Structure 1
Amino acid sequence: MQTSHTTASTTVTGSLARRALAASWKPVLFAVLLWLSAAAGEIPIPGTPVPITLQTFVVMLAGLMLTWRQAGSALALYIAAGAIGLPVFAGGASTMALVGPSAGFIFGFLPGVVAIALLRGKADTSSAARVALTFGRYLFAAIIGGVAVVYAFGFLVQSALTGAPIAAVALASMGFVAGDAVKAVVAALAAAGLTKLSR
């Protein structure tokens, strides 16, 4: 009787461990991809202290390809890594980036990725028309979460830290907005295509 109970307990524990591992590797992968996208280089934009990186693209992909919990975990892990001093942010920055001009964008990634994951809906690749509708939903989700939400946080924090009016911060960031709109299209196409391949 005791042996049977111990075996059942071990089986349940092993099953929980496998499920935890299966659920956690994707957030870790996307947290690493965020770091790599920041480490890959940055493009400065005149008039703003925030550089262009591929981070928003990875945030959009995470939101389009993971559950909202996994996507949120990936971003929380990434932000926590920088908070404890790892050089994971643009330019090899770490903790100080969380109190600098980029802080709002970094913190905005978390609600942004959750919004993307919640807005994207279910993928349907049963026909060309359904793939197009899936792409449209993905694009809408990427623009709302990856651009509107992230920029709302970014503009507010940058304006508060620099003392510049929000309108001036927004105007200086138009180069980012245009670039992130293009990233949203590419991310939506990639995610819709990968969803179709995985079926």
Structure 2
Amino acid sequence: MSGKKNLLHLSKPKAVRIPTEIAEKAKKIKAIIFDVDGVLTDGRIIYNNEGMESKEFNVKDGQIIQHLKLHEILTGVITGRDSQVVRNRCNELKFDFHYHGVKRKGEKFEDILMEFGLNADEVAFIGDDIIDLPVLTQCGLAATPADGHYKVKEHVDLVLQAKGGEGALRELADLVLESQGFYELIIERQLRNE
């Protein structure tokens, strides 16, 4: 304990209890894979007058990657678009893998399982649209952002509270790390400035 006294909480969220079924699935996770547009971003694409593309990413999603890596949880992207902006972000965050311009995500998912020696139940996936259904219906823990397509919501284990681009990856990563008993270690390391 830091010894500081909390004098005022303007908005303190209540502790969220993870449902047993979700926690059991999360305990098995060795990789978190996700789409980009509509998951890491809000799905919008901005073009300037010269035709240059830009996107906004949430730093909360990027912040958790180092903790996943420290606990040997792989991270990767399967995205339907091929964008240099996305490639730059993937390289910056040092994802274990990222595949761009993928139209048959289910097949790519099977390739990833073979390449990394994973079972489907050891992978969590976040997708927001119907192109993601082949992976969402095969993986061990399927999630969609709060603003995911309504048909996708019918096929997932978990509808996240965060919308796409607002920390959806962070929310699922926190759940996985908490379920696997790593979160207190993460907090202790941060308090020691490690």
TM-score bin (small chain): under 0.3
Normalised by the size of structure 1, how large is the TM-score?
0.25
Choose between structure 1 and 2 for higher RCO, CA contacts under 8 A separated by at least 6 residues. Answer: 2
Tell me which structure has the larger Cα radius of gyration.
1
Normalised by the size of structure 2, how large is the TM-score?
0.26
- Structure with greater strand share of residues: 2
